[in-house]
Structure 1
Amino acid sequence: MKLVVAKCIGLYINLLGYIAPNDAARLAISLFSKPRKGKHTQEAHDFLNTAFQEEVFFNGTSIMTYRWPGIHETILLVHGWESNAFRWEALINRLRLKNHNIVAVDAPGHGKSGSKSFNIIDYSEYLKVVTYKFNVQAIIAHSFGGMATIFFQYKYQVPLLKKIVLLGAPSNLEDVIKRYTKMMGFNTIVTNALKAFYLQHFGHSPEYYHAAKFTKAIKTRGLIIHDPEDHIIPYRDALEYQAFYPNVKLITTENLDHSLKSEAVDQHILEFIAD
């Protein structure tokens, strides 16, 4: 049913593209960047209220941070699309037992953070601000949070950041947009207008943002965890990271799909952080 609705919306935007391609691109981008989920439930509020909460600002937009102090290295937890900091509850509890200093964020347009929209390039800039503010030494990131992490570390090469964990992370923005345009059934006019939007607003077309290739220039140690049954981000993206990332280990899971929520995954992460 959701796919049928998407195709109907796509048909409308395709027709608009013949008349006003820029308007069609803006509408397509708006649908692509406006999360429908990601707000906190009462359970999330209850858990996140156990943390010190502080807003960090970039270009006038706030990003909410949650901090559980500890005496060991600082670890930043970065969620993906239509999620929020609460996704890390189980891992946070395990990291607290190890007395790590933990920071988690709500992405723009998610949780308690500002903005009504989300794009992965801006997200990477927010992560840079948070990383410097809290002297982050390791990042654990899920899905689009992983891609945003690679974008910012490639651009800024933060020397204090020693370890990166990528959970079900997409390897390049061009394929993400291809999957979106295929799902929506967009025609060539709308697809080209989408690419032009990225070039106009960020200075590069989507094909430039190839996170896996960016890792060739990243010295930070990496751990990739991905499941072959991931129905959101294909397993081949993990293999692409493995092919380019010079200092990385790939762990393949079974029957965990895209969420990768399990005690076994958390144990792999804890061992990597401790190593």
Structure 2
Amino acid sequence: MSFAGLVWLRATFLVLRVVAPRAADRRALDVWCTLPPGARHHRLDARPRPGDVVRLPAPRGGGEVVAEVWGAGQADGAPVVYLVHGWGGWRGQLGAFVDPFLAAGHRVVAVDAPGHGDADAGFMGPHRGTVTEMIEALEEAVRAFGEPAGVVAHSLGTTVAMAVLRDGVPADRLVLLAPNPAFAELLDRFASVLWLGDRAKAHLRGALEDITGRPIDDFDVIPAGADGAMPDALVVHDRGDRETAHAVGAAVAQAWPNATLLTTEGLGHYRILADARVVEAAVAHVAR
């Protein structure tokens, strides 16, 4: 968001809080669910070549999500690895993992959630998205292509992967790339930056819980595997990540008894997805 855009939003909420509190509530939800610019543009495409594109039904909104599959010609029973993008991302960002996993004997499935990449718009309309739709997109892919041997997830995609596995989908291995902070922390930061006020912040939390059908604390990655319920995990986080602090990944690895932390330097939040050392470590973790 530009500085001018931030100033305009702050002014908007200051006025609405006084003259139209309900409008402030609605506007807060709309801004929260607005995808960043470029969510439907292929900013980084690390795919070695196109795979087989399959369109699957999105449970909400009547549209379709996209799954791209590599290795469909391998012998039946090849273990499946799912690649899960983050907020505003798309499947091509994780394309560097495709060939190494194929070489290790896996089938690879990468998914675009509603509003992202080549998927249709979500139930809230164009340029909008929710974590619930991202979760449902991965669930649809698992129904279509089978249970995962491994899941490689980036940023908010780590919450998506955690939620799907927690709700009963088994997996052998999990790779978390730059996991995101707790949702309550994100909500506090969002409300502070935009000067929402207590009423709009409380309404936003309630609206999000209505959409997800769960308390937002249920989507926190750190406690989700603290009891050892998650698959063996490799957590990869760059020390200079400006989107999500390295301390978050370190806290996940410390809290989960079956997690290992790999710290990188100089890769930030996105270059970590195409780094040869990171890809090699992820494939070794899943394929061992």
Could you tell me the TM-score, scaled by structure 2's length? 0.85
Q: Distance in 1 between matches of 2:168 and 2:29?
A: 29
List, as ranges, runs of 4+ consecutive aligned residues in structure 1 with deviation greater than 6 Å.
none
* Alignment-derived partner of residue 201 in structure 1: 211
After superposition, the Cα gap between the structure-2 partners of 1:54 and 1:184, relative to the gap in structure 1 and judged at 3 Å, is same
After superposition, the Cα gap between the structure-2 partners of 1:148 and 1:24, relative to the gap in structure 1 and judged at 3 Å, is same
Match of 1:65 among 64, 67, 76: 67
* Alignment-derived partner of residue 95 in structure 2: 89
Q: Quick check: 1:240 aligned with 2:273?
A: no
* Alignment-derived partner of residue 107 in structure 1: 113
After superposition, the Cα gap between the structure-2 partners of 1:187 and 1:39, relative to the gap in structure 1 and judged at 3 Å, is same
Give the aligned CA root-mean-square deviation in angstroms.
Answer: 2.4
Q: CA deviation at 1:41?
A: 4.0
* Alignment-derived partner of residue 268 in structure 2: 257
Higher helix share: 1
- Identity across matched positions, percent: 20
Aligned residue pairs total 272
Q: Quick check: 1:129 aligned with 2:140?
A: yes
* Alignment-derived partner of residue 77 in structure 1: 83
Alignment of 1:145-160 (within 5 A): 145-154=157-166, 156-159=167-170
Q: Distance in 2 between matches of 1:133 and 1:64?
A: 12
| Unaligned residue ranges in structure 2 (runs of 5+) | none
Q: Distance in 1 between matches of 2:209 and 2:44?
A: 40
Amino acid at match of 2:91: A
Q: Select between 179-188 and 229-238 the one with higher mean Cα deviation.
A: 179-188
Q: Distance in 1 between matches of 2:48 and 2:19?
A: 47
Contact 1:28–1:194 (Cα < 8 Å) also in 2:
yes
Q: CA deviation at 1:191?
A: 1.5
Contact 2:181–2:248 (Cα < 8 Å) also in 1:
yes
SS in 2 for 1:77: strand
Q: Select between 74-83 and 2-11 the one with higher mean Cα deviation.
A: 2-11
| Unaligned residue ranges in structure 1 (runs of 5+) | none
SS in 2 for 1:151: helix
Q: Distance in 1 between matches of 2:217 and 2:19?
A: 26
Contact 2:101–2:283 (Cα < 8 Å) also in 1:
yes
Match of 1:98 among 89, 96, 104: 104
Amino acid at match of 2:283: L
Deviations 1:121-153 (A, max 9, x none): 231122122123211221100001111111221
Q: CA deviation at 1:204?
A: 3.7
Q: Distance in 1 between matches of 2:220 and 2:168?
A: 16
Could you tell me the TM-score, scaled by structure 1's length? 0.89
Deviations 1:88-112 (A, max 9, x none): 2222233233342010011210111
Amino acid at match of 2:244: I
Q: Distance in 1 between matches of 2:209 and 2:85?
A: 26
Amino acid at match of 1:130: A
Q: CA deviation at 1:176?
A: 1.8
